[in-house]
Structure 1
């Protein structure tokens, strides 16, 4: 299902329908940007050998509970074709890696007897079915085993579960195995579109052609900004990036590149203080106007974005090597493959520096704002609000506008005041 956003069967405008479209958008974006895709029980794995320490570029994405805990032998497989269920949706793209049914079974369920303790099978279906509690524990074990296999050459394990019920049910087993748990909110924009001028074109310097891709970094994990915590590219922040996948305070979000989006960043997990403008905004109705005197939002070229990312990551990780900082910044290049429209936007301070920045992804009628980040020296001055107002105005023609926010951090309140509403939750489990 490569274009799920345009599925006419989706009940658009409802919380459930918008959640389905948003999650499908995240999955499709991850598939398009990843150099390597592998099928795993209930979903797929994304891998990028150029950035082995990047959580967001090397993780498991789980859409649903594995059928019978990942054991796929529920139908005859005499013709060795991939089961129709597994060949549909996301796995249709992965069929080339799993054209042989037995090969897929070996990869996804190699520890079948050890993990599931199901010795009895007639070859076409299960004979022994466990109690519900046992099934949930075994599902978590199966997913952890899949992470061990798919991420065997990585120093981390990250499993992103985009089914709220499944993620909640598996949380105790992941915690017992030493995984950190982060919950992210899928927030959909319901408010009036603010009036904001179109972003100014990029400066000549920011339009410079990108250099050759940087060499792969060492398999060692990228240093985490903190030990606190879907679907990368900014220093550790409150929710300044995706759920264990973008720019957030936790190692999950700071290097994962999840999607939890935050207007500011902080090297610690403690909530940052809202700016005066944000705190004064009313709890409902239209977003407050951007503070007077702020410069217009600009379109940023890739090279300027990479330079700003280097600056922000160096400030957040002063002890990291230049190679690590460059790799963290260069991950932005891969985002260009994720959607039809991938834009980098920023607000420049009077001193000429980019004070706040964010990404805008648009594909199939859906728009996502991501990696909202304000540099430390410019926080509390209204830059994030100016930026968000401009992004919402730019995405006004989209049928759905959404973002991800850390469920346990303050920016979710900022987004609520802007007009966003929570429609669902996703979960990420990280072990380093």
Structure 2
């Protein structure tokens, strides 16, 4: 059962996700119950070109809405924040050929780390490691997809007032792990996103350094609600749980190639 404090936290997180998506998008197109977030500069990135349902909507018309708003793209992606709305949308979207995956929203409930160790970097420092990691994760995708997934980080700067790219370096100065931190001190909310370790530096503690640094920075910025996202059926969620994160909700991701 969701407690009242948890419900308040989830509403705050949902509001942050919705606001960040709107601000990051190059343009948005509204419809009853949500909007399409679009960016032609990164047309092959689903994270930058999708439909977000953040309010009451008509599930029966949602597949048609997605076709109309995303018809210029080679993919369809519909993300639904509310649990009950997602359940109502599941059958119409499945009938239209969509597959569902669940991304957990996990809030940090543990102590704030005393130490960090990562430092802020710019996109040029991450371009090489990002390219390598995306080729590792998506070996069958072409150069255009990889380019969009790497370069889309530029658009992240628009998503919040304070966006930081953090990296942990090895003893020779090579980027070993990295992640994003989005801060909204006005609402007391922060998101940690895209925490990745380079293949050559796995199991060396670098991801923990980045995560601890992000948590420390969020606390110093006055953000008391700090969250991240993790696939419900993948191993990182358990690593995050061991580091003080607790699931408080989810985003239901309906996608069709």
TM-score normalised to structure 1 length: 0.55
Q: Partner residue of 1:386? A: 209
1:57-136 alignment, distance < 5 Å: 57-66=48-57, 69=58
Which of 119, 125, 137 aligns to 1:304? It is 125
Q: Does the aligned pair in 2 maintain the 1:186–1:424 contact within 8 Å?
A: yes
Q: SS of 1:426's equivalent?
A: strand
Give the Cα separation in 1 of the matches to 2:56 and 2:140.
40
Which of 220, 230, 233 aligns to 1:408? It is 233
Matched, 1:54 2:51: no
1:3-22 alignment, distance < 5 Å: 14-22=5-13
Q: Partner residue of 1:395? A: 218
Give the Cα separation in 2 of the matches to 1:304 and 1:158.
30
Q: Partner residue of 1:23? A: 14
Q: 1:120-178: per-residue Cα shift (whole Å, max 9, x none)? A: xxxxxxxxxxxxxxxxxxx2x31110000000101111110000111123223322322
Q: What are structure 1's unaligned runs of at least 5 residues?
A: 1-12, 70-138, 198-295
Report the structure, 1 or 2, having the larger helix content.
Answer: 2
Post-superposition offset of 1:359: 0.2
Give the Cα separation in 1 of the matches to 2:147 and 2:96.
32
Q: Partner residue of 1:148? A: 67
Q: Does the aligned pair in 2 maintain the 1:34–1:48 contact within 8 Å?
A: yes
Q: Partner residue of 2:150? A: 329
Q: What are structure 2's unaligned runs of at least 5 residues?
A: none
Q: SS of 2:43's equivalent?
A: coil
Post-superposition offset of 1:58: 0.8
Q: SS of 1:391's equivalent?
A: helix
Q: Does the aligned pair in 2 maintain the 1:41–1:146 contact within 8 Å?
A: no
Report the structure, 1 or 2, having the larger strand content.
Answer: 2
Give the Cα separation in 1 of the matches to 2:142 and 2:36.
28
Q: Partner residue of 1:339? A: 160
Give the Cα separation in 2 of the matches to 1:323 and 1:412.
30
Q: Does the aligned pair in 2 maintain the 1:346–1:356 contact within 8 Å?
A: yes
Give the Cα separation in 2 of the matches to 1:426 and 1:329.
23
Q: SS of 1:313's equivalent?
A: helix
Q: 1:310-364: per-residue Cα shift (whole Å, max 9, x none)? A: 2322344456544443222110100001101100001112343211100000013
* Number of positions where the alignment pairs a residue of Structure 1 with one of Structure 2: 251
Give the Cα separation in 2 of the matches to 1:304 and 1:314.
17
With a CA cutoff of 8 Å and minimum separation of 6, indicate the structure with the bigger relative contact order.
2
Q: Partner residue of 2:171? A: 350
Alpha carbon RMSD of aligned pairs, Å? 1.9
Give the Cα separation in 2 of the matches to 1:401 and 1:386.
16
Give the Cα separation in 1 of the matches to 2:94 and 2:248.
25
Q: Partner residue of 2:26? A: 35
Q: Partner residue of 1:163? A: 82
Q: Return the index of the structure with the highest Cα Rg.
A: 1
Q: Partner residue of 1:250? A: none
Q: Does the aligned pair in 1 maintain the 2:44–2:148 contact within 8 Å?
A: no
Post-superposition offset of 1:188: 1.0
Q: 1:395 to 1:181 in 2, by over 3 A?
A: same
Q: Does the aligned pair in 1 maintain the 2:45–2:145 contact within 8 Å?
A: no
Q: 1:80-111: per-residue Cα shift (whole Å, max 9, x none)? A: xxxxxxxxxxxxxxxxxxxxxxxxxxxxxxxx
Q: Does the aligned pair in 1 maintain the 2:107–2:245 contact within 8 Å?
A: yes
Post-superposition offset of 1:42: 0.8
Give the Cα separation in 2 of the matches to 1:186 and 1:319.
28
Q: Does the aligned pair in 2 maintain the 1:306–1:332 contact within 8 Å?
A: no
Q: SS of 1:53's equivalent?
A: coil
